[in-house]
Structure 1
Amino acid sequence: MPNFIALTSAGIELLLAEELVELGATDVAPKVQSVHFSCSFETAQKICLWTRLATRILRHVVQVSGSSKEKIYDGVLGFDWHPFFTKTKVFAVEFVGTDKSIRNSQFGGQIVKDAIVDNIREETGKRPDVDKQSPDLIIQARLFKGQCNVYVDFSGPSLHQRGYRKAQGAAPLKEHLAAGIIRRSGWDGKSSFVDLFCGSGTLLIEAAMINKNRASGLTRRQFSFVKHPEFLVHKYEAIRDEAIAQEKPISADIIGFEIVGYVLDIARENIAMAGLEGDIKLAQQDAVKATVGKDVTPGWIVSNPPYGERIGDSITLLTLFKKLGFNLKSNYVNWNMSLLCTENTLLKLLKLQKDKEYKFKNGAIDILLVKYQLTEQQCEMGNVTSNGYF
């Protein structure tokens, strides 16, 4: 059974491992920013189509014991590369890792590239073209602890690119990170989902896709596995048709608030691009005043509010979080809530007891996802009347 590696962001590894098991993978082993697993070729195609948490899927083809230039060259040269080049005219090599023998990735990549070129030239008498800018196929070598493992790209361009983000706000979350945050929040996929700081709408769109059971990769034009020798069009079309048949109508209230008008317009454009018009409700409203109304049953609030590394000056943020805490305790009793932040200082102004917290990375920024249960006792809710917007 083929072996694969799924790449992702820091903090998502265990969630991705769970997702891969759900999608049919075996021998699942989380690593740093990656998960190793095994599955059939067809299951790997299904994973590419469905995964919400992986950014890339690579297929393992060669393991080289040793890290010297000679051993890596001989190990790569000895593999039968010809089947991968029957549909490939141009390729590129990525190299990850260094050691005493391979002191920079460029040198390591050159060794692997030379071995593949020599292999194909010996087999066909022709030299394949190399182009880092627009390759048909990407081959990645990963050097770690004296072993060089070589992979062939299976998924293609980053899987976080769902194709619906026409534009973005000032501090966007990548789609796979948004999906990971939603999963870590504990949302059941069925109850009400509210984002008080919806920005360009990424959390809302990912939540709606989860509720509708829509495969995240349906809008992608092509995956790299079409270049692999085992690929059969009719089998992939059957996998895709099955995914389309499993989609359901929206069955939860998915609600977003955003105070800035032009940012809300971006959210509307992205929602339309995702084909989710009518499935997500939006309102231009300040988060410190936003309420959903009594007809919306308590569910989950999942939001990425402004924090120090992002938007807003410190005085504005202090006022925002104090007022936000009052709104939450007044109008969101019995809700679950998960908020992103860089550290807990601002969240202390909410005057709420946190339940759990988890570490993630948003690009280069270390962030926390802090969870709360807004119980009646926690909120100490008085006789506060709220005005509904929906």
Structure 2
Amino acid sequence: MNQFEFFAACPKGLESLLLAEVRDLGAVESRETVAGVYFSGDLALGYRTCLWTRLANKVLLPLNSFAVDSDTELYDGVAAIAWAEHISPSSTFLVDFSGTSFAIRNTQFGALKTKDAIVDRVRDVTGERPSVAKQNPDIRINVRLSRGRAVVSLDLSGESLHRRGYRLKQGAAPLKENLAAAVLLRAGWPEIAARGGALIDPMCGSGTFLVEAAMMAADIAPGLLRASFGFERWLNHQNDLWLTLREEAIERKRIGLQKDLPEIRGYDADLHVIRAAEENIVTAKLDHWVRLSRKELKEFTQPTHKTLVPGIVLTNPPYGERLGDAEALAYLYRYLGDRMRAEFPGWQLGVFTGNPQLCHELGLKAHKKYKLFNGTLESELLLFDVHTVQPAKVTDADQPRRAYVPQEVVLSDGAQMFANRLRKNQKQLAKWLKKEAVSCYRLYDADMPEYAVAVDMYNDHVHVQEYAAPNSIDERAAVKRFEEIKQALPQALSVNPDNISYKQRKRNTGTSQYEKLANRRTHEMLSVQEGQAKLLVDLWQYLDTGLFLDHRPLRLKIAQSAKGKRFLNLFCYTASASVQAAVGGARYTVSVDMSKTYLDWARKNFAENGLGEQKNRLEQADCMTWLDTAQGEYDLIMLDPPSFSNSKRMDGVLDIQRDHSQLIEKTMKLLAADGVLYFSNNLRSFKLDDMLYEHYLVQNITQETLDKDFQRNQKIHHCWSIRHK
């Protein structure tokens, strides 16, 4: 039986896996090189490799190798091959030429010289010449020029072998099928599947991991779905041999699918992506064995329909190429780590990513790392044993809380008076805080005019805003009182001074509210709980913390009523209300704000709750302008504009007293017939236009949107519910 020398080409990083694969397929001799493997065997091995390889892009049959110092030598070396034994004059062919040299400086020129040599040689023997076809050629010829030598091969594959034939639809950044197969092999999936372990992908995209995993578990040849291979129109093709090998593969598939396959399941937040994955799985004829559901990461739990054998959670999350996206993804990765520890003890986690630094946020320690290339992007597969690891990054929140014991100091009379008021307020709020499980609240709001600050508690941190003193107050007296505040706070609240942030509140102009404060320490954002949602606050870098505490009751009201609703959040700030709506089960949310800073913050808030942007759209726009062209209909709308804004990003100036009627009328055009708009602002002197009462059902709900901690200052905001008549 004739022996042939073959070359299987693959992406960089897969060579050792491909070497093991061709040996398992029966290669007599084999050796790996960069981006491929040389191996030898009979023709059946070449066919079998095309049919069964999960890793190669091409299987080539080298016909000649020679030195190339000129275009003439290229022509002569190609013409030395007996092409009439391989190509019929009636066949079409295409030359794939790669590489250049000082003699062949252009791949198109190299392909042209190769084509001329082939056509001339066939015509010399048969009197006829074959034709070139750029689309669907009968035969593909591969020429690789490197280091002054050319290797001319017959392409037995035809179209690249990673194209199995099942992936008709794909997401934004799909993994190639052979790369997905390599990740599965590196993750130990064949061994996991053999013991019945499950595979779950919480961000499955177009389902490539799922289909490749199912084909491995069921012993299905990857090439069975392909319409054709390059060797089928080769003059030396042995069709009987090929049909025998194909029938063997079909029988192995039949036997494989009769077995009890392990659970293979995928989730994704994007319904369109799930639909595409479903079509791919149906095309692969694996829809009885692979299950899909639309789920956000926050809903990621072990399936409950049956007891699963612990296996692997394997996923390829977004990489976050833009800074804002990468920062938000850090919270998404952290959330994934939390879900794994809570829901999947005893399992493995495999993360394939082009941004491995994000994996530090998982709080897990990788026991194995593999470098692979996703196209030209150097990527890594990191493997974690969930049941044996502890969070690698321990934060203050992970440590048992101990009350801070302040040093004994003698307070001045003023500081003692301020401390006494703080303790009194804390005592008055204690029962309510415990009953409502509130951990972030306003403790003090200029209760004593001479101590004109707002004191907000965020777990065991304190945020202090000093109101700018009027001109009538002596500056030295104001400084003295602020020092007394600083002296009293750690004593009164048993809070570490390092956990207290001090700021001065003053009227903002332009974009100053969005900008970082000068000379501020950089702290990691603090995650706080509000109802069922986690929200991120920054007590240090910006004037505002990212969370308006006075709107807590309204946000929780939205969360309670959002299930199945379409929610719009105008002047959304950090989108905390949108997060509450999403956590409450909103069908989708749309959040609009001018500030990129705040929208990036919103991305982090969503990610902190395991929520992506597929159902939670963020729009950077001037809300007044956005409303002029907005489409769609919403069941719940929150409209919480600033009192005044003259940002450079706006076309004009927003004065809420002057403009609110027009703003509300524009917004009401987007409100469903039975929907509700919540309109709020914090202008103390604000008066709602009486005309709005004539056009709509308007109810002042300010009192019911003020919790106990804000009832001392009932002008902190105004709030109305507005409905269509």
1:158 is paired with a residue whose SS is coil
Cα separation, 1, equivalents of 2:303 and 2:138: 52
> Structure 2 vs 1, CA of residues 154 and 144 (structure 1 numbering), >3 Å: closer, same or farther?
same
* Residues 1:79 and 2:89 aligned together: no
Structure 2 partner of 1:280: 290
Cα deviation, residue 234, structure 1: 1.8
1:54 is matched with: 56
Mark the structure with the bigger radius of gyration. Answer: 2
2:168 corresponding residue in structure 1:
166
Q: Secondary structure at the match of 2:224?
A: coil
Q: Which residue does the alignment assign to 1:265?
A: 275
- Match for 2:41 among 39, 42, 46? 39
Of the three residues 222, 226, 236, the one matched with 1:220 is: 226
Tell which deviates more after alignment, 284-293 or 146-155.
284-293
Asked if structure 1 preserves the Cα contact closer than 8 Å seen for 2:71 and 2:104, the reply is: yes
Distance 2:99 2:58 in 1: 18
> TM-score under structure 2 normalisation?
0.51
Partner letter of residue 201 of structure 1? G
Once residues 236 and 310 of structure 1 are traced to their aligned partners in structure 2, the CA distance between those partners, rounded to angstroms, is 49
Residue 316 of structure 2 corresponds to residue 304 of structure 1:
yes
CA distance in 2 between counterparts of 1:88 and 1:180 reads 39
Give, in angstroms, the shift of residue 254 of structure 1.
0.7
Going from structure 1 to structure 2, the CA distance change for 1:375 and 1:87 (only over 3 Å counts) comes to farther
Aligned position for 2:243? 237
- Corresponding letter in the other structure for 1:28: S
Q: What residue identity is the alignment partner of 1:352?
A: L
How far off is 1:345 after superposition?
A: 2.2
Q: Provide the rounded CA distance (Å) in 2 between the counterparts of 1:212 and 1:46.
A: 18
Say if 1:41 and 1:230, in contact at 8 Å, map to a contact too: no
Q: Is the 8 A contact 1:88 1:227 kept in 2?
A: no
**Any conservation in 2 of the 1:48–1:217 contact (CA below 8 Å)?**
yes
Q: Which amino acid in structure 2 is aligned with residue 251 of structure 1?
A: L
Deviations 1:230-287 (A, max 9, x none): 3222211110111111121252111112122222122112111111112012222222
* Aligned residues of 1:329 and 1:379 also touching (Cα < 8 A): no
Distance 2:383 2:35 in 1: 23
How many residues are aligned here? Answer: 381
Contact kept, 8 Å, 1:90 with 1:128, in 2: the verdict is yes
Deviations 1:183-229 (A, max 9, x none): 11112233211111111111001100110101111111211111223
Report the secondary structure of 2:39's partner residue. Answer: strand
State the SS of the aligned residue for 1:375. Answer: helix
Q: What root-mean-square deviation, in Å, do the aligned CA atoms of Structure 1 and Structure 2 show?
A: 2.1
The CA deviation at 1:45 is 0.6
Q: Which stretch of the first structure deviates more once superposed, 298-307 or 308-317?
A: 308-317
Paired residues of 2:165 and 2:227 also in contact (CA < 8 A): no
Q: Matched residue of 1:266: which SS?
A: helix
Instruction: Give the match for residue 121 of structure 1.
Output: 123
Matches within 5 A, 1:1-390: 1-86=3-88, 88-187=90-189, 188=191, 189-190=193-194, 191-247=197-253, 248-249=256-257, 250-293=260-303, 295-309=307-321, 313-378=325-390
Offset, 1:321:
1.3
Are the aligned partners of 2:99 and 2:146 in contact in 1 as well (CA < 8 Å)? Answer: yes
- Partner deviation per Cα, 1:17-39 (whole Å, 9 max, x = no partner): 11111111232222222222212
Instruction: Tell me, in whole angstroms, the C-alpha distance in 2 between the residues paired with 1:244 and 1:208.
Output: 15
- In 2, the alpha carbon distance for the partners of 1:32 and 1:146 equals 17
- Distance (Å, rounded) in 2 between the aligned partners of 1:296 and 1:172: 28
Q: Give me the whole-angstrom Cα distance separating, in 2, the residues matched to 1:288 and 1:355.
A: 26
Structure 2 CA distance, aligned partners of 1:15 and 1:310?
33
Using the alignment, how far apart are the partners of 1:90 and 1:373 within structure 2?
53
Q: Are the aligned partners of 2:93 and 2:131 in contact in 1 as well (CA < 8 Å)?
A: yes
Cα distance in 1 between the residues matched to 2:93 and 2:273: 40
Q: Check whether the contact 1:7–1:34 (CA below 8 A) recurs between aligned residues.
A: yes
Kept after mapping to 1: 8 A contact 2:364/2:389: no
Q: Alignment identity in percent?
A: 37
Does the 8 Å contact 1:163/1:219 carry over to 2? yes
* Residue 317 (structure 1) shift: 1.2
Deviation sequence 1:52-98 (CA, Å, 0-9, x none): 11111111111113433232222221221101123752212222111
Structure 1 residues 88 and 192, CA, compared in 2 at 3 Å: closer, same or farther? Answer: farther
- Residue 310 of structure 1: CA displacement? 8.6
Which segment drifts farther, 177-186 or 141-150? 141-150
Q: What are the ranges of 5 or more consecutive residues in structure 1 without an aligned counterpart?
A: 383-390
Q: For residue 373 of structure 2, give the secondary structure of its aligned residue in structure 1.
A: strand
Closer, same or farther in 2 for the Cα pair 1:315/1:97, shift >3 Å?
A: closer
Name the CA shift for 1:336/1:312 in 2 (closer, same or farther; >3 Å): farther
Counterpart of 1:217 in 2: which secondary structure? helix
What is the letter of the counterpart of residue 286 of structure 1? E
Contact 2:265–2:291 (8 Å) recurs in 1? yes
- Residue type at the aligned position of 1:246: R
Contact 2:68 2:103 in 1 (8 A): no
Cα shift at 1:312? 8.0
CA distance in 2, matches of 1:123, 1:236: 28
Change (3 A) 1:229 1:127: closer
Helix, strand or coil at the partner of 2:222: coil
Distance 1:260 1:23 in 2: 39
Residue by residue over 1:269-328, the C-alpha shift from the partner in whole angstroms, topping out at 9 and shown as x without a partner, is 211111111201222222244112471111112110122139982343122111111111
Which amino acid in the other structure matches residue 173 of structure 2? A
CA contact (8 A) 1:288 1:320 kept: no
